[in-house]
Amino acid sequence: MIPRQQRTSADSRCMCCSAGVAETVRHALLECSCYADDRSEFLERVQAAYPAFEHASPDVKLKFLMADVTPKEVDNFLYRFLIHLFASRERRLASGLAGGRP
């Protein structure tokens, strides 16, 4: 882990995909191609509970998911997705499958 004061823009790139973009919460939850299958299942569940979510902008989706108070059904889906996402990320990085950095 690189201390915040010593990080460069290259250090903040997503290590799991080759998009060359910053590894942000928004990227991981809504954009990273490495998590597309898991994300699809997660978003289908959220959209089934809250149909308007499907047509919301990425910024609105992120605010909804990261809010201090989210519906319990969404919390459960989100927690499971995050656990799977981080485990998948660690496996990809450990196995050398990550496309972002050598």
Say if 102 falls within a structural domain. Answer: no
What's the pLDDT band for 100 if we cut at 50, 70, 90? very low
| CA distance linking residue 35 with residue 45, whole number of Å | 15
Q: To the nearest 10°, the Cα dihedral for 99, 1, 12, 101? A: -20
Say if 47 falls within a structural domain. Answer: yes
- Give how many domains the chain has, as a whole number: 1
Q: What is the pTM of this model?
A: 0.75
Of 17, 41, 48, nearest in space to 31 by CA: 17
Say if 99 falls within a structural domain. Answer: no
pLDDT tens column, 10-58: 667 888 887 888 889 999 999 999 999 999 999 999 999 999 999 999 9
What's the pLDDT band for 8 if we cut at 50, 70, 90? low
Whether 2 has a pLDDT exceeding 70, the answer reads no
Say if 100 falls within a structural domain. Answer: no
